[in-house]
Amino acid sequence: MRGQRYAVEVVETRLGWIEYCSIGQGAPVLFLHGGHSNCKERLCLKGFDREKYQLIIPSRPGYGNTPLDNNRTPREAAALIAGLIKYMGLESVVLYAISAGGPTAIAFAASFPGMTRKLILASAVTKEWLNKNERMYRVASLMFRPAIQGYSWTLIRAMSRLFPSITAKQFFCQFSSVKPHPLEKSDRFELIAALNRYSSNEGFLNDINQQGVDEEIACVNCPTLIIHSAHDNSVPIDHALFAKRMIENSRIEILLNEWGHLIWIGSDSEEAFRKIEQFIGE
């Protein structure tokens, strides 16, 4: 990545404005980032050769400089993404969905099969995610609602600067069910670098209020890789197993990685990169 510039653009499509970043050249891979993220996401790009792939990261509706407007549902967000692909002059892409980006990717693959070469569901939400009666939902809807989220992230970033080890340990428990233990310095650095780019805007509250995409997932027929950690403490592995049952042309890879939900961090992340690249290249 060193020496390569990430150009961020905000463009107007038939269905509205969308922000995106593109880097590299070759086969197009479009990433649908998870919650709190945006087109400046970098973790998910690890393992990709920029001379072999064109890596495209749009900010999903409600994140970055992509307005939520009338693109609140996965199907509406998918249509906006399709508009971006047409704007870029591309015929089809490999769709790579991360965490809360899963419902939009599923809706896209179902609604635009001709534009979806392959689908990757990585630690992805594939059905209704948080129950409104659960503590996790109540805390998330309070901390990350639009009026408050800026203060929440300012506090998190301040804590990460002052107490990086403590902050990393706390977030590790949010992402992984592996017993807490001393974390590698390089892993802590990667996590904190990601946290410094995060912002919830209006997007995260919209994500946790999605109703699921059961109707759409039954219509997905492109080759699909479902890759998920058995130690995922953010999105239960039930989501991966559900996708495997519902998508006929799919295969599942279950990881036993240290960082659980964050399959891109840690020395064992190489296994995930290898499986994903192998799937794309087949």
Burial label for 146, CB within 10 Å (0-12, 13-18, 19+), is middle
Alpha helices (runs of H) in 9-145, residue ranges in sequence order: 74-87, 102-111, 135-143
Contact predicate 97/77, CB 8 Å = no
Catalytic residue chosen out of the listed positions 22, 99, 200, 229: 99
Let me know if 59 is a catalytic residue. no
- Report helix, strand and coil shares of the chain as percent, to nearest 5: 40, 20, 40
Determine phi and psi for 76, rounding to 5 degrees: -70, -40
Rounded Cα distance between 29 and 48, Å, is: 10
Largest CA distance in the chain: 50
**The two three-digit tokens of residue 259, written as one number:** 């960082």
| 3-class SS string, 212-240 | CCHHHHCCCCCCEEEEEECCECCCCCHHH
Question: What phi and psi values does residue 91 have, to the nearest 5 degrees?
Answer: -90, -40
Residues acting as catalytic residues:
99
